[in-house]
Structure 1
Amino acid sequence: MTSNDFRLERNVELSAETREIAERELRETPERVREALERLRELLKENKDLYFGDDDEILTIFLRPCKWYPESALALMRRVAEFKKENACLLDGLLPEHEINSFLEHKVVNVLKGRDHKGRRVLIVNVGGSWDPKKVTADQLFRLFYLIHEAAMLEPESQVRGTIVVMDFHNMGWSQTMGLTPSFSKRLLTFIQDAMPLRLKEVHFVKEPMIFNVVWKMFKPLIREKLKNRIFFHGSKMSSLHKHLEPSHLPADYGGELPTIDYSGAEWYPVINEVLPHIHKWNTYGFAKNT
């Protein structure tokens, strides 16, 4: 296993194939990019209650999921600011070091080393028996998810191709069920649906037991149609998962052809720590502070 297995693909030119996807799905052309960047900068100057960086990298993070419509990107910025304000108790000044124990000692969140067959990043969230809510609370679980998204948003390929989430409920019991509180459900879904500047393409629930229905009853009323159409349930049938994620790009844990996962968030922690300057800046973004 080399260090290249765990790295961010930041400041990388889009591949030719990804450029085609960007143009086809996101309306991305050189002329439209220039115009959108210029217009979004103007809108930020006009909306003085918002404070965000105005360099190309930051603006592109918001423009790509909004298909290069500046007004939509500004609306996304405003929703991000609202979310950060409403969840300040969890997110204010959040740094990777604050959750170092959760990353290093507990195998709750993980990112597959490679991308899937469509070039998408795959986040694994283990909320079954391997998760002890007394050691990693639901709030901490969300903070881990948030820190990972801060890193993922920096990858141009991920901005265009999107991301996948696999929720693994293997050996889920009452302690995990009770750990996924209504407040956590509401916060997570608000974030995903309103305030995450990434293209979430699919969410796959795997190995969910009967007790999972208790959790689903909490989640279901909060899920809007767009996200609902991207959620898939597979139980223990990995052949069902393979209709969406090809076995050639999946580990044996999910019936794939790749080796069983032998790494965790511990290997990804240094990668996220490498983008501390970005995380520090991100912590200052949102509603402008009164001076």
Structure 2
Amino acid sequence: MATLPGDAEFTSKLDEASKKKAKEELNELNDADRALAVQTFRKWILEQDCIKSPTDFEFLLRYLRARKFSQLGARQTLENYWTSKTTSPDWFKDVDPCDPNLIEILKSGYLLSPKVYDSNGRRLIMDRPGRLKDDIVERAGGSKSVFKTIGLFIDWVLTDENVQVNGVNVIADLSDVKLSSLTTLWTAENGKKLLSFYQHSAPVRIKQMHFYNEPIFFDAVFALMKPLIKQKMRDRLFLHGGSMVDVFKEVEKCILPAEYLPDDYTGPNAGPISKIIDDMIEEMTQPGFRSYMKKLSSGEFKIDLDKKKSNDIPSESFRKLNVD
């Protein structure tokens, strides 16, 4: 069995409620079972001549958790992850969290994820494409920087064990989105590629997806994308129009930025957006995470699609495949 010296050093930072959920929902039964699953997954990766991937304990664990410890599911998601990153180098290669262009996109407030959790242990992701004004995108180096920032953001969020186990709630605030942006940044091709990455490649458990302040052309755009969305995800979609009151019925206020809450609300919240952005950038630019991202996007890790046989599907599964 393939082991690494660091395997024994892994200590879960989950609280007791999340550990219970990992056991009951994800089949993460105990420390020994978890270690055996990681080592089995690693052994399979090292046997593949078409995949070069990190094999450290923490990296592999997030794929197993995303697929409820199904070896087959984890393998498929890892293959999809490296296929996405290999075939779209403009999006995923040479990602440096200290790159001024990526910091420019982050400072726009386009993507937010405060490090607070709701009563289910879930974290919030806010997607606010209306913040990407043309001058910001141009100043930051164009659409390539936008999609590199998305990849950076997702890889950063996925380092959080709470996200791996409890999942995320997503709010897409479509305020100020212009139809013209669909012909430049959010083209059909880019939309399909991004949707595929979220659904098939990123080891993230999206529990709810909320749309707020949808523009008048949203229905037409959504009709084009709907056939590409898995039924399970469709069942988790909520359309709220311009009503934050409706959002509050589904998303706990404690994980929302202060700017999205009623003026008379005095309870816990995620703080002001400016502070959330500063905290994100500070964490992403720490030497450890910066080094991790630069290595992950260096081109060292990839999938060789010429070597990968089209019928190369693992015949056994450590556990029954149950994708969530």
Relative to the length of structure 2, the TM-score reads: 0.78
User: Mapping of 1:31-70 within 5 angstroms?
Assistant: 31-70=32-71
Residue 101 in 1 paired to residue 101 in 2?
Answer: no
- Distance change in 2, residues 1:163/1:248 (3 Å): closer
**1:289 and 1:208 mapped to 2: Cα distance?**
39
**1:187 and 1:32 mapped to 2: Cα distance?**
35
**Does the 8 Å contact 2:112/2:126 carry over to 1?**
yes
Please report how far the alpha carbon of residue 113 of structure 1 lies from its aligned counterpart in structure 2 after TM superposition.
Answer: 4.3
Relative to the length of structure 1, the TM-score reads: 0.86
> Residue 73 of structure 2 corresponds to which residue in structure 1?
72
**2:113 and 2:273 mapped to 1: Cα distance?**
10
What is the one-letter code of the residue matched to 2:111?
V
> Residue 3 of structure 1 corresponds to which residue in structure 2?
none
**2:103 and 2:93 mapped to 1: Cα distance?**
17
> Residue 4 of structure 1 corresponds to which residue in structure 2?
none
- Distance change in 2, residues 1:119/1:229 (3 Å): same
Please report how far the alpha carbon of residue 262 of structure 1 lies from its aligned counterpart in structure 2 after TM superposition.
Answer: 3.8
SS in 1 for 2:177: coil
> Residue 20 of structure 2 corresponds to which residue in structure 1?
20
Please report how far the alpha carbon of residue 91 of structure 1 lies from its aligned counterpart in structure 2 after TM superposition.
Answer: 1.2
Over the matched positions of the two proteins, sequence identity in percent amounts to: 24
Cα shift readout 1:71-128 (whole Å, capped 9, x = no counterpart):
2211211111111122112211222233122223x22122224223322221111122
Q: Which protein is bigger by CA-based radius of gyration?
A: 2
> Residue 315 of structure 2 corresponds to which residue in structure 1?
none
User: Mapping of 1:139-178 within 5 angstroms?
Assistant: 139-178=144-183
- Distance change in 2, residues 1:200/1:175 (3 Å): same
> Residue 301 of structure 2 corresponds to which residue in structure 1?
285
**1:183 and 1:53 mapped to 2: Cα distance?**
29
Q: Any stretches of 5+ residues in structure 2 without a counterpart?
A: 1-9, 307-324
Please report how far the alpha carbon of residue 190 of structure 1 lies from its aligned counterpart in structure 2 after TM superposition.
Answer: 0.6
Please report how far the alpha carbon of residue 260 of structure 1 lies from its aligned counterpart in structure 2 after TM superposition.
Answer: 5.2
Please report how far the alpha carbon of residue 182 of structure 1 lies from its aligned counterpart in structure 2 after TM superposition.
Answer: 0.6
Please report how far the alpha carbon of residue 288 of structure 1 lies from its aligned counterpart in structure 2 after TM superposition.
Answer: 5.9
- Distance change in 2, residues 1:242/1:213 (3 Å): same
Cα shift readout 1:129-163 (whole Å, capped 9, x = no counterpart):
x3314532554333222101111111111110112
**2:253 and 2:159 mapped to 1: Cα distance?**
27
**2:225 and 2:197 mapped to 1: Cα distance?**
13
SS in 1 for 2:227: helix
RMSD: 2.4
**Does the 8 Å contact 1:40/1:71 carry over to 2?**
no
User: Mapping of 1:1-291 within 5 angstroms?
Assistant: 13-30=13-30, 31-98=32-99, 99-104=102-107, 106-128=108-130, 130-136=131-137, 137-178=142-183, 179-255=185-261, 257=265, 258=269, 261-263=273-275, 265-274=277-286, 275-283=289-297, 284-287=300-303
Cα shift readout 1:41-80 (whole Å, capped 9, x = no counterpart):
2211221211112221111021110111222211211111
Count of matched residue positions in the alignment of Structure 1 and Structure 2: 279
SS in 2 for 1:263: helix
Cα shift readout 1:172-192 (whole Å, capped 9, x = no counterpart):
333344442112211110101
**Does the 8 Å contact 1:107/1:264 carry over to 2?**
no
Deviates more, 1:235-244 or 1:174-183: 174-183
**2:143 and 2:250 mapped to 1: Cα distance?**
28
Cα shift readout 1:206-241 (whole Å, capped 9, x = no counterpart):
111213224323322221212212221111122221
Q: Any stretches of 5+ residues in structure 1 without a counterpart?
A: 1-9
**Does the 8 Å contact 2:124/2:255 carry over to 1?**
no
